[in-house]
């Protein structure tokens, strides 16, 4: 399998590339980025080839590509990759609008290439244990879920002499699609659809910019209420509420309330606290399962076996629909209905 990476705008590309390089039978042909300085920097870090344009990389006929651009730039890169016949793993959210997400799914369908949305939490061992428990029926009827996906304000300060590494597009509404809600609804929305086996029929949301007031022009706090077709409900706290000095970017937790008990998950609890005089503050060292590795293994396997991946472009589309409805609700103050 020959794989290329299109854009290093998203920090997840830094995690994906070394995993791909370590996979048997996978050749990373290189990276392309519209920021050539950034591409050269990461190519040197990971000892891989730089392509000066996306077209140049795609002319090498990779079997698959991983797209890690800014959210608003996913669609044109998907179009280019699909026309080149490459299977696609696209970073989440799939797009900044439902229309673009639908177009991405249709582009890949017409081109006959596989499309997978980058939802690594589906491959987290704690998340999979919850799914197994749900499928067993031991919890009985599911009533609802309280969930959080919180993080720090994504300022990504870098050394002054490396300005191309600052991912400040995360707080640019045009490029990211919004703020904290665009960033942090999708993982949990996808997990809950997977757990419930049911679609969201109504979204009610509230947001504000109380946190980090004046620093950015997007919402920094959000609370989203989801109602599913099976009558289960869920709340998602999707805020950038972790302080800059917190030992990690944030976390993902949920509590499922059911007829026969309570199921609790903390996806990133498998950590050691590390104290170092060089750093000056405690750091978390994660030792648990690697969800990114599981996701990439599934993507490569689906491409090799010429089958649909277990997380599809349709899953990405459904998550974007929920995010878009959340913004509509936050603006109107009213619940927004989805087809379900």
Task: Give the model confidence (pLDDT) of 173-227 as tens digits.
Answer: 999 999 999 999 999 999 999 999 999 999 999 999 999 998 999 999 999 999 9
pLDDT at 157: 53
User: Phi/psi at 66 (nearest 5 deg)?
Assistant: -115, 125
Q: Is residue 328 scored above 90 in pLDDT?
A: yes
Predicted pLDDT of residue 280:
65
* Confidence bin at 254 (pLDDT 50/70/90): very high
Residue pointed to by tokens 């799939």: 94
The pTM for the full model equals: 0.93
Phi (first) and psi of residue 286, to 5 degrees: -80, 135
Domains of the chain, first to last:
2-119 (3.40.50.720), 121-337 (3.30.360.10)
Judge whether 252 and 187 are in contact, CB under 8 Å: yes
| Lowest mean pLDDT across 57-71, 131-145, 188-202, 281-295 | 281-295
Structure tokens at 267: 């996806």
Kindly state the percentage of the chain with pLDDT values over 90. Answer: 83
Distance CA 172, CA 110 (A): 32
Query: What's the CA gap between 12 and 191, in Å, rounded?
Result: 19
Whether the per-residue pLDDT at 40 is higher than 70: the answer is yes
| Contact by Cβ (8 Å): 204, 329 | yes
- pLDDT tier, 245 (very low <50, low <70, confident <90, very high otherwise): confident
**Residue 27 reports pLDDT greater than 90:** yes
Choose among 151, 254, 240: nearest CA to 194.
254
DSSP state of 271: E
Strand pairing partners for 27? 2
Phi, psi for 325 (deg, rounded to 5): -65, -35
Whole-angstrom distance, CA of residue 183 vs CA of residue 253 = 16
* Contact by Cβ (8 Å): 279, 53: no
Which is more confidently placed, 63 or 267? 63
Averaged confidence pLDDT in the chain: 92
* Count of C-beta atoms within a 10 Å radius of residue 34: 15
Q: Which pair of tokens denotes residue 161?
A: 């002499």
Tell me: pLDDT of 242 over 80: yes
Check if the beta carbon of residue 145 is closer than 8 Å to that of residue 257.
yes
Strands 261-266 and 87-90: unpaired
What's the Rg (C-alpha) of the chain? Answer: 20
H-only helix segments in 52-97: 54-58, 74-83
Q: Which of 221, 232, 229 is nearest to 263 (CA)?
A: 232
The tokens describing 203, both together, are 């979204």
281: pLDDT confidence band, cut at 50, 70 and 90?
low
Q: Which pLDDT band holds residue 318 (cuts at 50, 70, 90)?
A: very high
**H-state helical runs in the chain:** 12-22, 36-46, 54-58, 74-83, 98-111, 125-136, 173-176, 180-184, 186-196, 291-304, 313-332
Residue closest to 10 by CA, chosen among 67, 60, 57, 82: 67
């Amino acid at each position: 399998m020959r794989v290329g990476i299109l854009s290093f705008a998203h920090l997840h590309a830094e995690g994906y590339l070394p995993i791909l390089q370590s996979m048997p039978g996978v050749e990373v042909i290189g990276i392309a980025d519209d920021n050539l300085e950034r591409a050269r920097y990461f190519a040197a870090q990971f000892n891989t080839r730089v392509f000066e344009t996306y077209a140049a990389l795609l002319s090498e006929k990779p079997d698959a590509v991983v797209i890690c651009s800014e959210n608003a730039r996913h669609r044109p890169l998907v179009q280019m990759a699909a026309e080149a016949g490459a299977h696609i793993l696209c970073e989440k959210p799939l797009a900044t609008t439902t229309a673009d997400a639908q177009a991405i799914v249709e582009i890949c369908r017409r081109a006959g290439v596989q499309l997978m949305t980058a939802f690594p939490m589906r491959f987290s061992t704690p998340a999979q244990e919850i799914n197994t428990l749900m499928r067993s029926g031991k919890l009985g009827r599911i009533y609802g879920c309280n969930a959080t996906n919180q993080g720090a304000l994504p300022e990504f300060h870098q050394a002054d002499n490396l300005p191309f590494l600052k991912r400040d597009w995360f707080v640019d509404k045009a490029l990211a699609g919004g703020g904290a809600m665009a960033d942090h609804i999708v993982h949990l929305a996808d997990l809950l659809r997977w757990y419930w086996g049911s679609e969201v029929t109504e979204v009610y949301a509230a947001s504000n910019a109380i946190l980090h007031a004046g620093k950015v022009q997007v919402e920094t706090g959000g609370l989203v209420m989801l109602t599913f077709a099976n009558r289960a409900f869920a709340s998602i706290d999707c805020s950038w509420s972790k302080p800059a000095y917190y030992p990690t970017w944030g976390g993902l937790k949920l509590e499922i309330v059911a007829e026969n008990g309570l199921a609790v998950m903390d996806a990133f609890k498998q950590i050691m606290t590390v104290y170092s005089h060089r750093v000056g503050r405690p750091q978390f060292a994660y030792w648990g399962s690697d969800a990114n590795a599981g996701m990439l293994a599934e993507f490569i396997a689906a491409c090799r076996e010429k089958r649909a991946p277990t997380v599809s472009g349709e899953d990405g589309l459904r998550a974007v629909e929920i995010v878009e409805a959340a913004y509509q609700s936050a603006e109107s103050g009213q619940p927004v209905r989805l087809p379900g």
